[in-house]
A and B are shown apart, each in its own frame.
Chain A
Amino acid sequence: MVGLSLGEKHFIQGGIAQDIRSDGRKRLTYRPINVETGVIPQANGSARIRMGATDVISTVKAELGKPISLQPDKGKVSIYVDCSPTAAPMFEGRGGEELSTELSVALQRSLLGGKSGAGAGIDLSSLVVVEGKICWDLYIDCLVVCSDGNLLDALGAAIKAALSNTGIPRVQVAAGASGDEQPEVDISDEEFLQFDTSDIPVIVTLTKVGRHYIVDATTEEESQMSSAISISVNRKGHICGLTKRGGAGLDPSIVLDMISVAKHVSEQLINKLDSEIAAAEAGEDES
């Protein structure tokens, strides 16, 4: 895909080794992050995140559904990623499916806390309307508009921003329904519930190029990676999920080292992101 000459490859690798990357960043510096919220008015919440040329949109749609019988006190959240062919011609037709699935699964693993939902970024029990009968189902749909590396981190950040932008209509359950009947609900036009998004982790992907690892790799840099680890870390510094990608094996001690670096980076990232989201929300309210 990315056709690089030998010289270019050496340039990239050499730059990383010397802690000065081809766009001038240090190994652990992110590109500037641009957050816009409320970009898709028909969704309950949405956000668009741009990191360099990487451009993703994430939306949240809430629908009323029925909780699964094993977890009557929890709502459901699902994440789907779609890679638009506008981002790269290779995503044309079914070409983007593999990457889309990989990203969807990685995001679910990092943000939703496994099958039981324990440790999920969002408190799933807050989505229940009537226990065992009605709950909110959140559908998080992401679209990759333009891709220049580090999609997972960008998508994670976009989901976090979209969730903080999300308002779910307040519902009133009609009294009187009993037994097996599905109760009638009344949906308010005006009042919205906001989510507590402070526990939603951010994803930090460390890409190993040569002996060093970098954050927020561009497509060119990713083409030179030997392996990568994506770690999701929440505000409290807890590791919420971890994905290793790439073929080359890693020494366990290096893995541990990478985790501690990721923890450190995540603190900055969370603060940066929170302030960007707050600024975007404020900007949206004004307009």
Chain B
Amino acid sequence: MLHSKTFVKKTRGGKVNKQVREHYLRDDIYCGAPICKLCDSSAARLSPSASTILLLDTNVVLNQIDLLENPAIDDVVMLSVVLDEVKNKNMGVYNRVRALCSNSLRRFFVFANEHHKDTFVKEMAKESKNDRNDRAIRVAAQWYQSHLGGAARVLLITNDKENKRKAIAEGISAETIESYVKSLDRPDLLDLVVQPSSEDVEMEEVEDLRPSKRKVIYTEHKPMSEITSGLHRGIYHQGKLRVNRYNPFEAYVGSESIGDEIIIYGRTNMNRAFDGDVVAVELLPQDQWHEEKSLSIADEEDEEEDVHLVPSSADDAPRTTNLVQGSSGDTNAVSSRPSGRVVGIIKRNWHSYCGSLEPMPMPAGSGGTAHALFVSKDRRIPKIRIHTRQLENLLNKRIIVAVDSWDRLSRYPSGHYVRTIGEIGDRDTESEVVLIENDINSRPFSSQVLACLPPLPWSVSSEDLANPIRQDLRDLRVFSVDPPGCKDIDDALHCTALPSGNFEVGVHIADVTNFVHPGSPLDDEASQRGTSVYLVERRIDMLPKPLTEDICSLRSDVERLAFSVIWELTPEADIISTRYTKSVIKSCAALSYIEAQARMDDSRLMDPLTTDLRNMNVLAKKMRSRRIERGALTLASAEVKFQIDTETHDPLDIGMYQIREANQMVEEFMLAANVSVADKILKHFSLCSLLRRHPSPTREMLEPLLRTAAAVGLNLDVSSSKALAESLDRAVGDDPYFNKLIRILATRCMTQAVYFCSGDLSPPEYHHYGLAAPLYTHFTSPIRRYADVIVHRLLAASLGIYKLPSIFQDRPQLTSIADNLNYRHRNAQMASRASVELHTLIYFKKRPTDTEARVVKIRSNGFIVFVPKYGIEGPVYLTARSEKGGGEWFVDEQQQKIKKMDGSASYSVLQTVRIHMEVVEPQPNRPKLQLTLT
């Protein structure tokens, strides 16, 4: 029998229900110290030579996580009571602590004190939850002390004055984190120590705050109980605060209770809330719902809009919520959009941020601590005050800073230095910043992950060939078409003319799931990374290189495993039948788009491969035109391509990415494969399929497009994707570039497509707007997208050749995977864009250029131009920023024009202008690209 443990019953008075839960206390929980002679030390995590074992109080874990992540802090016992408290207070910190505890390089041991018979603490009468937990921590510390019997010093680290006092009184050695770090004699660690807030133990060198003399800047946050009752009564609204990426003084709170977004203007109304915080908002009286100077390109202090890449969807585009309605000039017109102010913060979204210190003179008498202001790369984050002892080391560096607190008396939040990335402006440093900002894991793969790889050199084995589920397609003329230099080839094609006049067309996708097994460390890692990330000068792989570039890559002239979708198509490109199979293929050629295009165009070539290509191209064109007939949008994006110096990795040339017929041909068959697979998996697993949907844009989202179109006399029908596609087709001006420009503008009004779990939505919501497809998924790039890996597993299970992994039974988990994929996908795109922006800057540093640009948006002091050649857009100022609002220019809202008062000059939307591009450095080490009229 297993129940030999003594147990007590813990009762908990619920609302009115009296709940009774059993709680079994155990005697088989071990201390984790290898020096211990009583316990089973097979699972011990602490070092055998540890002279001091640290026990941490909850407040230390919550506040000093950056310090704990430093390898200088080790041999730590994490109590489960502390972990639970941390989990309740801050999930982000909890995950980081958990990562520390499971990291085999660190010596962190989790002690389940709540289940141990000697360390369980029963709540005493009149004792608060906090006091009880503090007592539990002390009891555990005492237990360790007596358990180890002097073999190692047990030190309780707490910054809670009361807890420390009691601990010392009970004979436990206890210290504050500051005094412990000081005792380590590592001055650099001291910068990582977070300043305690007032109720905790005070530090030395506390700045004289003199609260009486300091001005109160922000209103007080309401207590939680008041917020709850306010939310209940409908006077407050809860939602996640989203700061405008392009104007940090404007934020939005999506509120379910009023079904609309509430706008928050200014830092005062934001009341210390950060982007991503869950806040409680109070609506302002309706007469204060005015628009605040939203028309100028940049406003307040020293914030201004930078030159950036052309947005590829509405998610990237600056928010243009509010152009003044009605007559121009009346900037205080009452808007219909509710605005509000933050009254309390329900959940903080603080993490660490990348950026640099604001330039400042070195204080006299260096060596002591200095205060500095940190400016984040992410413009949505306010400046952060930090304390440092190494100011001169940090001034010209990119550093990471974490936020600790923000009180009512400070204009800026205070935080602490975490680590240095490198010199500002250095390309590697800046690339690193891009990765960190987008939460991209670029660390090398761990040994556990690499252990999952098959031994190299790998080749198709006889077992693979003998496997009845795998069809031998080596005799087919399979080839791949990819961008030049592509090493991770995940798709290949074949096209055979059948005697009946029909065609057999196959799409062969790298069989990644043959190597990535569910639940393996490799699978977990890939699922976490979600996607490969393509930066201008490097690629961060989702899977280790041997898989990406060799084992899975469908290179030419080698046998590879594939997952194939094979159709029989009529010459009119109608699908007669579809079959799916795992296969072995041998690609005969790995072509680049240019090569494939050249073969098709060269009428002298009549070899079988070229004939296949031509046949495919004919079919693809028919499929494409049919798709467009259904209403698929052909949207234009302005992708740019760099030529990179192989030695210095500096950009040599920059230009628009050219799209050829060959690209479209491959794309067409990939789309078809994805659609076929989506159909198949949904039929078998209606509740747990991973699909991709693209929501229809709302009329409001298309508003900027319509306004611009109207200004140039164009009438767009946006009632459906088909109507929009047709009106876009009709939108041809005298100007050859006009249509493309309108398409680019349309693209940025769309939201991005997202992954979702089919059980979470109803079938009408599965629709993919851009492709005009009722169902869509991703199947064709499993080497670089994890979504495709999942879909491969679903497809294999639907064919009955593999079992569905158990994760598909767990819908919440599947949903969270989909969410993670969307997040990773989005971040990968942001990182790519940021990388291109970075390289654009490096490129123009040495090459001031004059070029042609198009006006895409009118602002009160200038306009935004789009530079087609380089795929960027940015502001052109007509008035100097100092003379705000005044001057000789006025805006004609109706016609989207900005005119000089005397009528001598005017610029209207979509007009062509010549501009000069040059990199300037308004502040040292802060280069930026400036656009001026020539």
Contacts and interface: CB of A to CB of B under 8 A. Distances in A.
Given A63-B16, A187-B16, A41 B11 contact: yes
A169 interface: yes
Contacts of B15: 187
A188 B20 CA distance: 16
Interface in A43-73: 43-44, 61-64
Nearest to A44: B18
B210 interface: no
Given A184-B229, A190-B123, A42 B16 contact: no
A165 B15 CA distance: 20
A285 interface: no
B9 interface: yes
Contacts of A62: 16
Contacts of A174: 225, 229
A189 B13 CA distance: 5
A174 B9 CA distance: 30
Contact of B16 (A64, A188, A190): A64
A188 B13 CA distance: 7
Interface in A1-49: 41-44
B604 interface: no
Contacts of B18: 41-44, 61
Nearest to A192: B13
A188 B15 CA distance: 9
A61 B12 CA distance: 15
B20 A169 contact: no
Interface in B120-143: 123, 125-126
Interface string B634-645: 000000000000
A148 B905 CA distance: 109
Contacts of A64: 16
Interface string B1-35: 00000000101110110111000000000000000
A42 B18 CA distance: 6
B126 A190 contact: yes
Interface in B95-139: 123, 125-126
A61 B15 CA distance: 13
Contacts of B9: 41
B277 to A, nearest CB: 26
Nearest to A186: B225
Contacts of B12: 189
A191 B124 CA distance: 11
A250 B756 CA distance: 81
A43 B17 CA distance: 9
Name the residue in B13, B15, B19 with the highest tally of chain A Cβ atoms < 10 Å from its Cβ: B13
A184 B19 CA distance: 21
Contacts of A41: 9, 11, 18, 20
Interface residues of B, number: 14
Interface string A175-207: 010000000100111110000000000000000
B203 to A, nearest CB: 36
A174 B226 CA distance: 11
Contacts of B229: 174, 176, 184
Nearest to B126: A190
A207 to B, nearest CB: 38
A238 to B, nearest CB: 34
A111 B126 CA distance: 35
Contacts of B16: 62-64, 169, 187
Interface in A221-262: none
A187 B225 CA distance: 14
A174 B125 CA distance: 22
A61 B20 CA distance: 14
A189 B9 CA distance: 15
A267 to B, nearest CB: 35
Contacts of B11: 41
Nearest to B225: A174
A41 B123 CA distance: 18
A235 B808 CA distance: 67
A189 B19 CA distance: 11
B131 to A, nearest CB: 12
Contacts of A189: 12-13
A193 to B, nearest CB: 12
B400 to A, nearest CB: 42
Contacts of B125: 190-191
Given A174-B229, A190-B125, A169 B19 contact: no
A241 B197 CA distance: 66
Contacts of B225: 174
A174 B19 CA distance: 23
Contacts of A44: 18
Contacts of A191: 125
A86 B16 CA distance: 31
Nearest to A40: B20
Contacts of A188: 13
Nearest to A170: B13
Nearest to B18: A42
Interface string B662-686: 0000000000000000000000000
Name the residue in A61, A64, A190 with the highest tally of chain B Cβ atoms < 10 Å from its Cβ: A190
A84 B229 CA distance: 45
Interface in B69-89: none
Contacts of B123: 190
Name the residue in B9, B12, B15 with the highest tally of chain A Cβ atoms < 10 Å from its Cβ: B15
B583 to A, nearest CB: 61
Contacts of A169: 13, 16
A229 B20 CA distance: 41
A189 B123 CA distance: 10
Given A184-B229, A189-B13, A42 B19 contact: yes
A127 B126 CA distance: 23
Contacts of B13: 169, 187-189
Interface string B193-232: 0000000000000000000000000000000010001000
A190 B19 CA distance: 13
Contacts of A43: 18
Interface in A148-182: 169, 174, 176
A191 to B, nearest CB: 8
A129 B229 CA distance: 20
A176 B230 CA distance: 12
A129 to B, nearest CB: 12
A62 to B, nearest CB: 7
Contacts of A184: 229
A41 B125 CA distance: 19
A189 B18 CA distance: 10
A153 B11 CA distance: 32
Nearest to B15: A187
Interface in B130-183: none
Interface in B859-893: none
Contacts of B126: 190
Contacts of A61: 18
Name the residue in B16, B18, B19, B20 with the highest tally of chain A Cβ atoms < 10 Å from its Cβ: B16
Nearest to A189: B13
A190 B15 CA distance: 13
Name the residue in A41, A62, A64, A191 with the highest tally of chain B Cβ atoms < 10 Å from its Cβ: A41
A61 B149 CA distance: 49
A133 to B, nearest CB: 15
B709 to A, nearest CB: 53
Nearest to B127: A190
Given A63-B16, A184-B229, 14 more contacts: A41-B9, A41-B11, A42-B18, A42-B19, A42-B20, A43-B18, A61-B18, A62-B16, A169-B13, A174-B225, A187-B15, A187-B16, A188-B13, A191-B125
In the A-B complex, the 8 residue pairs with the smallest Cβ-Cβ separation, listed nearest first, are A41-B20, A189-B13, A42-B20, A169-B13, A63-B16, A64-B16, A42-B18, A190-B125
25 contacts: A41-B9, A41-B18, A41-B20, A42-B18, A42-B19, A42-B20, A43-B18, A44-B18, A61-B18, A62-B16, A63-B16, A64-B16, A169-B16, A174-B225, A174-B229, A176-B229, A184-B229, A187-B15, A187-B16, A188-B13, A189-B13, A190-B123, A190-B125, A190-B126, A191-B125
